[in-house]
Chain A
Amino acid sequence: MSDKRFNRRNFLKIMGAAGVATGAGVMMPKEVLLARAEKSGKGRQRYEVKPGELDDYYGFWSGGHSGEIRIIGVPSMREIKRIPVFNWDVGTGWGITNESKKLLRGRNFGDTHHVHGSYKNGTYDGKWLFVNDKLNNRVARIRIDYMEVDAIVDVPNIQGAHGLFPQRYPKTEWVVLNSEFQTPVPNDASNKKAFLNPQEYYGMHTIIDAERMSIVCQVMVDENCDLAATDYKGKYSMCTSYNIEKGVTISEMLASDYDYLIIFHWGRIRDALRKGKYKRVNGVKVIDGRKGHSDITLRIPVPKNPHGVNISPDGRYAVCCGKVSPTVTVVDLEKVDLAFEGKIKPEDCIVAQPYIGLGPLHTTFDGRGNAITSVFIDSTNVKWNIAKAIEAEKKGPEEKKKNPHIVDVLDIHYQVGHIMATMAETKEADGKWLISLNKVSKDRFLNAGPFKVENDQLVDISGEKLRLVHDSPAYIEPHDCIMVRRDIIEPKVKHRHEMFEHPLAVTKNSVERKGNKVIIRMTANAPVFGLQEVRVKKGDKVTLIVTNHDEIIDLTNGVAISNYNINFVIAPFQTKSVTFTADKPGVFWIYCTNFCHALHLEMRMRLIVEA
């Protein structure tokens, strides 16, 4: 594969060929519908959420290159809200207000892939969400009580900030972030040799302090660091790596027949930090985790170009998907310590490598010993039993060929990426619903032009068989999601802000001038702004601070300044501010944009800019 010209067709051919070689002669069960026509119960859950009813799960979806997070009710699949994160949101004013600008620091685009919740004892604590920005290499934290971003940390020395996972036990103190693209370290063109030589590009496993939202350290490796996971004992984090070759072209990245699941030893990372075994690069403590240089990392060889790594809810197994191989690799985490101590070889931690289908990408769990893996090229979700796969591996190749582990295969529409079951990334995986985040919707919705949305399919996994029950279109472009039981989130979410949490909360209307700086402090109380008019002079630097004094639930006000390209909303008891230069003389109506009252249209005032 030295051909420089490479296209999608060839790529699929390669992947297909690998699949046929291993999967030859395998009969795949394709039955979709259940024979029993039960109205409810196992395998027949009610998925209709009637008017006035509420969903059982909060779904948190990443937004891909829209840069946002979405809250989706499951099983109704109703989109409840969008949380702007790394994007400009002209509706809420995210990226426009001073508060959001301070967090975004001038970068209003992002690419969110993996959203995960904070944990306590292996399950969600309902405090925070974390999400990566692959585009600008950041991590944002969302506080669940307000469902708003409250911190963003920039991560230096990396590109392709991809896999992200919070610590699961005993609670989320650390969040790990993988860099999928290897780069020179530091990447500032200062070292000409490294700059030009891909062999001196490195991947990073970054550890972030969840509370402070600052970087604890980075573990530097030769390989790229793709998807991420943490164990259930607070001992390890891990990444899959598909470019151990340090390739910069697809053919180079596909050169090796194997790649790695890399496991990071947290105890040894703490030791290195304590003993000062790091160097500082761009202010960050960088620990050398390269093969042969470090005892922090363990490399378990897996078939070439693996994709997702997911941990079974009992905490025992890491399941690493093959992507280019039609298999998944099951790693027994109880053996990892022995491998770190050198008592067994890294590959001895592998307890099964069952056949799944062409292009397995991600695995999720039903909490009853079964795994469900998304299979991209076949366009299927494959349910398989972990214990049976391990047993067949022990019995040998003949038994393996019978594929006794496979329970059911569901056709999905089409080309699934991530897959996630309810509560599946916790020890409380409940095996109720599954979302298949399909990359291609093709013919599943009304044709809305050449650029088509994705198709998130809802699957009932409560029974033996997988049952497809609903298609929902998804705009650009969720990668992954989690679904959290309502009882965990609901008690944490507030109806109104704590007014004085914002240091500038306004209780008295005033206009204050300091030189050419004007500060307007104003209340909003539907249908009235606290001021009727404000006079400034052309060229004044104006800061408008507004506090919503309505405490009634859902009474949000908007504040927009005509022709000044400014708009933001303020929820009950919330304060936001915006600073702008009054560069256009004239009369400009400031009006409420968020329907608030029968006299909403009358809720307006004048900004008078004198020449």
Chain B
Amino acid sequence: MKRILLLILFLCLSYPVSGYGQWKFFEHRYKYELKDVLKADRFVKKDGYWEGYRDGKLVGYVFLSKDWTAKLVGYSGKHMETLVGMDTKGVLTGVKLIFHSEPIVLIGLKEKNYLKFLEQYPGKSIRKDLSVGKEISMDAITGATVTAVVQNAIILGSARKVAALTGMIEYVEGPERKVSREYSRLTWKELLDMGALKKITVTYKDLGIEGRGVYIDLYFGVITPPSIGRNILGDRVYAETMKSLKKGESAIVVFSRGEGSFKGAGFARGGVFDRFNISQEDRVYVFRDMDYRFLTEIKAEGAPEIKEGGVFIVRARDFKEARPFKFNLVIPYRVGGKKEFKAFSAEYRVPDRFLHSAK
């Protein structure tokens, strides 16, 4: 018996090993205080945010992004935890990074570049369309497009959710409408004419670079209505896509012609598509390679050949496909040796005929 016990002891000999190798090297954690992002002398904890008071008067709100947009993850696959302050009018008062593991060191950037990128937020109103490449400059972290796009979505997404909760911004939401399951055969021209597909055209002139005509013609649309999806994707890809959707998920199609690329290469190793996202009300949705299915041709009669295409699944259940949303495109280009970015967007709404009437 004693021998057996000894043997068991011997068998169990193992030594502890240090955590997860070198992951710590990529992790950056910062200490914070609530007043770092809002000048207030008293903070009152609420559900998911703090109210900030100065001289007894409510002056704004402070919140942690992971309470609101934890699903938004960067190049590292991890959420960039951000502390955000906002006044009662919806103007950002401060933004502080408290944790991230974005490997910006890989593209020759330093931590201070990242912090500098965040310096442009205070003073900006969340009621405005703050998109990367327009109001939000990428100059400080040029090249880290995934990080920038996701960080922007984290700040705005969180802020708009808090703003909505505190009654600062209001939605007049129409009654919930459902996509019709009816199918009719439609040609390419018909789909375009009725707005089932929307188009963003970027010319060389828009970018101020050498070249004639169109740099990229990008088309997008919701594909869940069979009259849109089946006509564009063909029966097989449509059926397979719909079968792969879990309850509450939606799917859009994006494809393009011309020299420019909406897919870029950011998703190849990072998994995130950094050149486009969609936004609806206070929410921003970015896509990862797990949400993507390669598309090489458009089946609708009369459709042109395409250069790039994909079906993208919107995983988040709070996206309402029957309500308007915006497609945001960021095009990187070069002027001389310098990388520049320009943003474009277009609004989309599923044509009425593909929706059941509101009750």
Binding site for B on A (CB under 8 A): 52-54, 487, 491, 495, 509-515, 523, 525-526, 528-532, 534, 551-555, 596-599, 605
Contacts and interface: CB of A to CB of B under 8 A. Distances in A.
A531 B17 contact: yes
**For the complex, would chain A's binding face be called helix, strand, loop or mixed by DSSP majority?**
loop
Contact of A554 (B20, B22, B268): B268
Interface string B315-351: 0000000000000000000000000000000000000
B106 A509 contact: no
B122 interface: no
Given A52-B308, A552-B269, A598-B106, A513 B13 contact: yes
A53 B268 CA distance: 17
B195 interface: no
Nearest to A535: B15
B103 A599 contact: yes
B258 interface: no
Given A509-B17, A512-B14, 11 more contacts: A509-B21, A511-B17, A513-B14, A514-B10, A532-B22, A551-B290, A552-B270, A552-B289, A553-B290, A598-B103, A598-B106
A91 B103 CA distance: 28
Nearest to A523: B20
A532 B271 CA distance: 26
B30 interface: no
Given A530-B20, A552-B270, A52 B13 contact: no
A48 to B, nearest CB: 12
Contacts of A513: 13-15
B241 to A, nearest CB: 10
A487 B233 CA distance: 13
Interface in B6-45: 10-11, 13-15, 17-23
A234 to B, nearest CB: 28
B296 interface: yes
Contacts of A598: 103, 106-107, 269
B60 to A, nearest CB: 38
A597 B15 CA distance: 30
Contacts of B177: none
B21 A487 contact: no
B18 A597 contact: no
Contacts of B236: 487
B296 A52 contact: yes
Nearest to B18: A532
Interface of B: 10-11, 13-15, 17-23, 77, 103, 106-107, 236, 240, 268-271, 289-290, 294, 296-297, 307-308
List 6 A-B pairs, minimum CB-CB distance, nearest first: A552-B271, A598-B106, A512-B14, A528-B21, A553-B289, A528-B22
Nearest to B271: A552
A599 B107 CA distance: 11
Contacts of A526: 269
A54 B306 CA distance: 13
Nearest to A54: B296
A509 B23 CA distance: 13
Contact of B23 (A54, A525, A597): A525
Contacts of B270: 552
Given A54-B294, A513-B13, A597 B269 contact: yes
A597 B21 CA distance: 16
Contacts of B308: 52
Contacts of B307: 52
A510 B10 contact: no
Contacts of B103: 598-599
Contacts, number: 68
Contacts of A596: 269
B271 A553 contact: yes
Nearest to B26: A528
Given A552-B269, A597-B269, A599-B103, A511 B23 contact: no
A406 to B, nearest CB: 37
Nearest to B307: A52
Contact of B20 (A487, A509, A512, A551): A509
A515 B17 contact: no
A514 B19 CA distance: 22
Nearest to B13: A513
22 contacts: A53-B296, A54-B294, A54-B296, A487-B236, A509-B20, A511-B14, A511-B15, A513-B13, A513-B15, A515-B10, A528-B22, A530-B20, A531-B18, A531-B21, A532-B22, A552-B270, A552-B271, A552-B289, A553-B271, A597-B106, A598-B103, A599-B103
B290 A528 contact: no
A596 B294 CA distance: 22
A525 B101 CA distance: 13
A8 B103 CA distance: 64
Contacts of B271: 551-553
Contacts of A554: 268
A491 B307 CA distance: 23
B268 A530 contact: no
Given A554-B268, A598-B106, A510 B17 contact: yes
A247 to B, nearest CB: 52
A599 B21 CA distance: 14
A293 B241 CA distance: 57
Nearest to B293: A490
B271 to A, nearest CB: 4
Contacts of B106: 597-599
A524 to B, nearest CB: 9
Contacts of A552: 77, 269-271, 289
A362 B125 CA distance: 74
